Structure 1
Amino acid sequence: MLKNITLLFFNCYCFILLGQSQDSLYFKNGIEKPSILATHHFGIFSARINTNFKLAPQKKTSLTFTSTSGNNFHPFVETYIPKDPETQKEQSKLIWYHRNFQFVDQETTPADYMNIEIDAVIKEFRIGINIPLTKNHELDISLRSLLITKGKYPFSVFTGDESIEWFHSNLIGGEDPYGRRYYGLNQVNFRYQDRYGNNLELNNNDFFLGGFEFNHHYYPTLSINKTRNIFINFGSHLGINTSRYNSSLDVGVSANAIKKLEFKSNYELNFALGLNVLRKNLINFEEVIDLGNNPYLGTFESDLQIAKFTKKKNYNAFSVNFQIQTSYNKKEEADYYRMIGKWKEINGGWQHGFETLYKKLSFWTFMYTYGRPNLTLCVYFKEDFRVNNAPDFQTGVSLKLPIFK
């Protein structure tokens, strides 16, 4: 299947290059970046919003192909959430690893129960088309698909278990800091039971269609565009999720601002800030898995990019992106939940499977972009310095090609 997809991309690429004409001038449109959304094991089932840091609609309709690979790892952990207010109050007085709530049965000790185990390299393949509508409006449509893998060489050179544990053993982290070696490298264990008793399970080489996303962006014409080189855009977003675990509809809005600075010697600096809010599961088409009881996901993102233009109007750009997202579960439950896992056998992080669902998730992304009139190529890697392992390390490559004038 991957071979067929690769051949399709290559044929499309050759056809487009042969059929298009060269531009005499190239306009760099702010910070053009692909989808850099994390391969979070809950997030992949929803239509999260990829922040838009462009200055204006594109002049041409374009196609974008993006491939992403992320290593997600959480050892098996169980969680009990007591329902009785007095029990909640009692447990909240204790630090989470000293809580002593003992579940007997739903009549005497009512509680929600969940368990999770995530160990896989998650790969996302995304195809998008961007259509300029008017001077100030554009429409972006994308299709995302997911592949669950063991992450073996040569398909996961940087995100496989062996590479990550070599890094931990030889550079930073120490020997097996989170239990990958204890559970075995290059495994797929992807299981989750929600608080309602519904089960999600994925296996090695499971491939599925995640959904379709429709993003409309509006770029108002303002005086500060020319006087201060500050540009603003607003987005409205609709996602149709098609996996059997989360067949649903998501909606969202976004607002973004970009400051552009031009320097001598053909250098350009862009600084951008963005905010967006997604309402997950506004409509459920079927019974779905509870992928977090917080119905809203809010995201703040910033990006700093420096670009150098060549004499042929091509450019090389480096950027640093920071993103922070609100938690998947309601944070108040973290005051009284109890988690059970193999804390004696694992050096650290045995509780992350549920603990991180109640925390804000933050990521740093480092990107290199090469742009020319007939294509834009971007490669990036993403790291979570708070060590939430969702994912631990992620890489991506994206190719954008204009197809119509």
Structure 2
Amino acid sequence: MKFRSPTKSRGLVADARGSSLLEALLAVVILGFGLLAVAKLQVTIGDALSTGRDRVQALLLAEEEMDRLRSFDLIDNAAGSPDYALHLGYNQVAAQSVSALSSTDYPNYVTSFSRAVSVSTNPVTFNSQVPDFKLTTVDLSWSDKKGTAQTFSLPSVIAKHDPSDAAWLIACQTDEDIRCGTKDKIKTPYNRNLRIPYPAKDLGGGKSAFAPPGFGSKRIVFDNDTGTIQYLCNDADGVISNDVVANLTNGAYTDCQSLNGYLISGFITAGVSPRTPPDFLNIGTTADLTDTTTINGQTSISMLPSITAPASLVQCFDDSETATKQYASTISYVCIVTPNDSDGNPDTPSVWSGTLGIDLTGTGVAIGTGSSDVKVCRFGASGTSDGTTTSNRAHHSNYVDVTETLENQNFILIQGNRNCDSSLSEVQHQP
């Protein structure tokens, strides 16, 4: 019988015990690194969650202020107005210095935020037009839990518009009434009153200038919001493309007459054969913009308004005598009327009443019903206006209590013994 040596067996056991201890130590080290990594991950996640929460809250605070600035319900509500604390005006959207937000107003916010607003008015000019908008940026600043300064910015554009325009769309349900009301402020894509002539040059500063037909150096200056005429001036260089609002104060516009007026505008055309008016040259028979319009060789074709006092006529302009027409084969005209504040109430528009005709004095041709005379037809409705906005726009024989600028008050001149064409909405106007 053979026996294993006891000494050799004890050595093997000792070696095994040493290996197990080393493995245990390595496992502890690896576990320690793992626990440290997990702890670091938890700290990183905590920091990320805190940063994310702060940035989300900053975004909400920025959106809150931007929405407040967008919620203006007036164009202007200056300090001192009775309802200044209740209503924000577009003109009052302005920069705000850095200020800390009260914890009382935001009790659920752990982080303390500060907020500021920067505003740039009309920062760019596009296609020679100065748009009415404000480039607005809301800035939030705070310190994270490590004390590191953090910031967040929310930029946006706030466009100028009259909130009452939306009310017009609600109140006026039909095509006929879509521009209803005595204070028509619906605006064109140029963001100005619909009654301002389309070719008018936007001067910036809420004003536009229009060169009346035949008088390239004259400037009729409108208020973009109301559409009323504020000034009648002369332009020193006669070039409207470079006109700006500063021209009113820097001497570029001279002899400015302050007004609170309305414009009447339209076109005069001539009938074609067999209704061609006698001795009528270069209108209705040519498309040449450089022809001068004459009757019997004379160019004294002009408007003849009769305005009921205390309202008054300022001046009429037309391009019948000029070498270059605004539109081919057509005489363009405009007249400025100063209305009267009939009731002393600043919240109601001023009004004027009267008639508008055509004067051929000096041409040697009379207005009458003979074959050698000229008859004037208007495009519009028969009878007398009832004083409503719609009826005055319809070009009746008499204007009653006009409260706005009127456009497309058009006439056609025909041979005196011919008839106005009712199928074309022509109504005999003179004689």
TM-score under structure 2 length normalisation: 0.23
Larger Rg: 2
TM-score under structure 1 length normalisation: 0.24
Structure with bigger helix share is 2
